[in-house]
Amino acid sequence: MSIELGSYSLRCSIVDNQAMLRAAVIFLSLALPYAAGLYALGWQYHSVRPGDSLEKIARRYSVTVTQLAQWNNLSDTNSIFIGQRLKILRESGFVAAAPEEDRPGFTRPVTRWKVVRSYSASVDEPHYGVLVRTEKGASIRAAESGVVARVGPVRGYGVCIFVDHGGGWLTMYSHLTDIKVRPGDKIRKQTEIGEAGEGKMFFTVSYGGKPLNPLELL
């Protein structure tokens, strides 16, 4: 199956809804986030080897050369060297515990909200974020300073913005309209990034590519 995110394409596995199968998947194939309708994101690293080029690396990880250049601040896409570590945004699966030290000071991304579905890591009904109701057109703001990693549609979640906060921390804001930022933008905490055009937002936080409960971090 292929999921389109604007100019991005991700391949994922489909599993049925039986609890036993989902329980097996969480240990064996890392596919559970897809069964829940969402994937969590985090950074992985590639060390440049002899014969590597950005084009080959991009194909290997199913990303684009432009993405690699943005994520690694490369002004010359023809200039990489053996041993260089390149970071690549990836999808992942397991739920992690947040470290107590060096935890970002996340703030609520919208001033007024009502939680209509909370975070759950349950095998039977996983939900790796919080779905909230707010005013239509409400300003959505970055929960912490960081760099915009991706902007684009995700099936079932409308237009999404992913913000990399460094140290393995990443947030996602979905169902957005009137987007204010672009990939690569450096933004400060509470910078307006878009609007809740539908009067709702799905918000996620991940650490090391693994989803966490946003309400425990705000």
pTM value is 0.58
Do 84 and 124 share a structural domain?
no
- The low-confidence residues of the chain, meaning pLDDT below 50, are 1-40, 92-96
Distance separating alpha carbons of residues 149 and 31, to the nearest angstrom: 22
Q: How much is the pLDDT for 176? A: 94
Which domain, by its residues, includes 178?
A: 114-216
- For residue 166, the cross-strand partners are 169
Q: How much is the pLDDT for 100? A: 59
Do 130 and 73 share a structural domain?
no
- Using an 8 Å Cβ cutoff, are 159 and 174 in contact? yes
Q: Is residue 58 part of a domain?
A: yes
The number of distinct structural domains making up the chain is 2
Do 168 and 81 share a structural domain?
no
Distance separating alpha carbons of residues 4 and 152, to the nearest angstrom: 9
Kindly give the pairing relationship between strand 138-141 and strand 192-196.
antiparallel
Q: How much is the pLDDT for 42? A: 61
Render pLDDT for 56-97 as a digit per residue (tens, 0 to 9).
888 777 778 888 888 888 888 788 998 898 888 765 444 445
Q: How much is the pLDDT for 189? A: 95
Q: Is residue 103 part of a domain?
A: no
CATH of the domain at 24: 3.10.350.10
